[in-house]
Structure 1
């Protein structure tokens, strides 16, 4: 389960502290043909699609947060549209050159739905298209575990203070994050939002097996969007590029 129903501008502010948008955009654009179409499953506030749209690509974003989709639509973007729907429920007759799922969205999906969602991603690809998955794996969770954390995010005169509690359900291999966001605007107004999300604790072998079952072949694997080598100790994010079986490696 996830709940991300707070104003999208605050998510954008926090996102900047976690992500390298330029590196993400370069990476995704390198997998798209001129004028290609991308599908962003778990698009959040549409950050990646707006950047791709500015480079001449078209795209569709899907997210279950009404607040984030509203923000994404308000921000616009050339050739970009958004669908308010859960990723696991999304259906489309369109086909895409690139289907991607970033920033732990794969971990947010119910474990029982992963196999079906990856098969759906395979079915949404145009011939020669690519799937990109970025996910957190077991050591990410083990090393980053803190029962309670406090973080501050600043920008444009706004201060967001994030108070978070983490708990683990080992029987379900599930990580729950419960957060309170305290927001102070530039004019001194203060607001508060509650936010929570569950994450399935995944492993690399598990995801590779699910991709193979979906008819997708892993053509490249990186430790980040600058195409860093996956660290031998297994820490850090994993970025996997997959193609339909029979397609050549990158």
Structure 2
């Protein structure tokens, strides 16, 4: 289960401290033809899609947060559209040169939905299309686990303090993150939001097997969007690039 219903501009402020937007944009653009059509599953506030649209790409973003989708729509971007809904329930007659899912969106999905989702993704690809998946894996979770954390994020005069509690259900291989966001606006007003999300603990072999069952084959594997080697020490996510099995074998 997940809850991300707080103003999108707060997420934008926090995301800036988590992510390497320039690296992500270069990486994604390298796996889609110029002017191609892309699908972002778990698009959040549309940050990645807007960066790609600035390079001439067109696309669709899907996210379950109504607040984030509204922010993305208001932020604009030529040739972009957004759908409010869960990634695992998304359907369309459209086809795409690139389908991607970043920032642990795969981990947020109910485990039982991964297999049908990846089959759907395979069917959404145009000939020659690619899939890019970023997810947290077992060692990543173990290495990063902290029962309580406090983090601060600033954007100009905006200050966001995150109070986070992590709990583990080892038998279900599930991490629950419970957050309280304390937000101080530039005019001194203070607001508080509750946020929580569950994350399934995935492994590299598990995701590769699910991709294979969906008719996709991994063509490259990295530890980040600067094409860092996949980490043996556990820190950081895995980034997989996949293509239709019949095309990769050709």
Q: Which TM-score band applies after superposition, normalised by the shorter structure?
A: over 0.9
- CA distance in 2: counterparts of 1:140 and 1:223, whole angstroms: 11
Matched with 2:184 is 184
**Equivalent in the alignment of 2:194:** 194
1:6-17 to structure 2, matched below 5 A, reads: 6-17=6-17
Q: C-alpha deviations, 1:61-109, integer Å up to 9, x for none?
A: 0000000000000000011110001111100000000000100000000
Q: How does 1:66-77 map to 2 (within 5 A)?
A: 66-77=66-77
Partner of 2:225: 225
Partner of 1:129: 129
2:217–2:244: 8 Å Cα contact kept in structure 1?
A: yes
Match of 2:109 in 1: 109
The unaligned stretches of length 5 or more in structure 2 are none
Q: Is the 8 A contact 2:150 2:162 kept in 1?
A: yes
Query: C-alpha root-mean-square deviation of aligned residues, in Å?
Result: 0.9
Alignment: residue pair count: 249
Q: How far apart, in 2, do the equivalents of 1:97 and 1:165 lie?
A: 39
Query: In the alignment, what sits opposite 1:169?
Result: 169
1:79 is aligned to: 79
Offset at residue 171 of structure 1 (A): 1.0
Alignment of 1:18-57 (within 5 A): 18-57=18-57
In structure 2, C-alpha distance between the alignment counterparts of 1:174 and 1:131, rounded to whole Å: 25
Q: So what's the TM-score if we normalise by structure 1?
A: 0.98
- What is aligned with 2:118? 118
* CA distance in structure 2 between the partners assigned to 1:109 and 1:176 by the alignment: 13
For 1:112 and 1:188, the matched residues in 2 are separated by 45
Q: Distance in 1 between matches of 2:161 and 2:184?
A: 8
How far is 1:6 from its partner? 0.1
> How far is 1:248 from its partner?
3.5
